[in-house]
Amino acid sequence: MHSARDARIAIVGAGLGGLICARVLQQHGRSVTVFEREASTGARPQGGSLDMHPDTGQAALGAAGLLDRFHALARPEGDEWRVLDFATGALLAKRGPSADGGRPEIDRGQLRGLLLHSLAEGTVRWGRAVTGVAPPADGSCRVLFGDGAFEDFDLVVGADGAWSRVRPALSPAVPGYTGVAFVETGFDDCETRHRNLARLVGNGSMLAKGAGKTLVAQRNSNSHIRAYIALRAPEDWHEAAGIDLADQQAVRTHLLSMFDDWDESLRYVLRNGDHGFVHRSLFVLPVPHTWEHVPGVTLLGDAAHLMPPVGLGANLAMLDGADLAHALVAESSVDDAVRAYESIMLPRSIEAATGSARGLDNLVPVPTS
């Protein structure tokens, strides 16, 4: 068995979970390489705001020695929710931030930047698209790249998200459509250009729910608001409606017709975004998603337990990364470390995925006939 201390470790994917894992390993003097298919850190937008939970995301940041730097960037006031009546726009309920600032918000891009800057130079190899891994042979696992090259490692960690190229080495599972799609847009300079929307959203997030559709708007940094139109619909709903998603005006017109009985203060989200509509179908892995242990390879985050985006995914991915790194430091062999990690992560992820499915049903209620 390979010694964990001298192991050659590869992490596929420079998302939050993979970067936390790399950071904790480097803190303990371990060698690690992160492969990322994106060309650079700014190759694509990183998404909206995340709330970091004390027992998961913040615990992982503490393990990485980055909690103070996180708090310097985070927005405790962002842990606020407003629920509005869809027909009148009236405030139905409000939950303020917890007294101890227990779940502060941070932009995903800011958090990823914090993690990237904490790593040794050259840890992340940008523009290295992994196409798969070969089954362990001669005690090592082979990483295969899109250009035909390969490299061998003692452990390969699939941290490469929903459509993981590492997962097939462990599991035949593929993500399935949840029945919910998000249509995303955004608003800039909200304090001056979108003042009424800014007042509706407040310091954190706002939601309004109708039958099979929900509007969510959340504060980001720099006076930006990101909005999501959540629809319970077939995956091809736009094709059935004859809508070309590239035709922004057609999407806007169709959405306005779908929300024609909603209050005009909420329909503002559909009329006045500064950014184009971006369609995102929501996929999840089967629950439970488990696998028989395979030496030399494991998964974390969405690659292991893709679930609806209701506030748990990023937190769990980060905790996965910290737990795996700690196991590799604590155990004498790579195999013992992976077994110890999977024995904690898999049961935890099943419980979280079950709860997240309920959370999605609460966020976007199923229409009653």
Reply yes or no on whether the pLDDT at 357 is more than 90.
yes
Please report, rounded to a whole number, the percentage of residues in the chain having pLDDT higher than 90.
Answer: 89
Q: Place 369 in a pLDDT band, splitting at 50, 70 and 90.
A: low
Task: Give 91's DSSP letter.
Answer: E
pLDDT at 101: 58
pLDDT at 260: 96
| Helices of type H across 118-163 | none
Q: Place 43 in a pLDDT band, splitting at 50, 70 and 90.
A: low
* CATH assignment of 9-77+102-175+286-363, among 1.10.540.10, 1.10.287.130, 3.40.50.720, 3.50.50.60: 3.50.50.60
pLDDT at 4: 79
- Domain ranges across the chain: 9-77+102-175+286-363, 176-283
Q: Place 135 in a pLDDT band, splitting at 50, 70 and 90.
A: confident
CATH topology of domain 176-283: D-Amino Acid Oxidase; Chain A, domain 2 (3.30.9)
The CA distance from 6 to 154, in Å, is 9
Q: Tokens 């999977």 correspond to what residue? A: 342
The CA distance from 369 to 367, in Å, is 6
pLDDT tens column, 57-91: 999 999 999 999 999 999 999 999 999 999 999 99
Residue 193's CB is within 10 A of a number of other CB atoms, namely: 13
Reply yes or no on whether the pLDDT at 46 is more than 90.
no
Least confident of 136-140, 182-186, 214-218, 358-362: 136-140
Is the CA virtual torsion 303, 226, 254, 207 positive or negative? Answer: positive
* Ramachandran category for residue 138: left, alpha or beta (phi over 0 → left; psi -120 to 50 → alpha): left
User: How high does pLDDT run on average in the chain?
Assistant: 94
Q: Distance between alpha carbon 178 and the CA centroid of its chain, in Å?
A: 16
pLDDT tens column, 197-206: 999 999 999 9
**b/e code 337-361 from CB counts within 10 Å (16+ = b):** bbebbbeebbebbeebbeebbebbb
Reply yes or no on whether the pLDDT at 41 is more than 90.
no
Q: Distance between alpha carbon 206 and the CA centroid of its chain, in Å?
A: 20
Strand partners, 107: 49
pLDDT tens column, 163-193: 999 999 999 999 999 999 999 999 999 999 9
Contact yes or no for 164/303 (Cβ under 8 A): yes
Which residue spans within the chain are E strands per DSSP? 9-12, 32-36, 49-51, 81-84, 91-95, 105-107, 124-126, 130-137, 140-145, 150-153, 155-158, 176-187, 205-210, 213-219, 225-232, 278-284, 297-299
User: What pTM was estimated for this model as a whole?
Assistant: 0.95
Reduced to 3 states (helix: H, G, I; strand: E, B; else coil), residue 359 is helix
pLDDT at 366: 87
Q: Please list, in sequence order, all residues whose beta carbon lies within 8 angstroms of the beta carbon of residue 143, skipping any fewer than 6 positions away.
A: 10, 12, 35, 130, 133, 150, 151, 152, 153, 156
pLDDT at 88: 97
Contact yes or no for 293/157 (Cβ under 8 A): no
pLDDT at 97: 76
pLDDT tens column, 280-327: 999 999 999 999 999 999 999 999 999 999 888 999 999 999 999 999
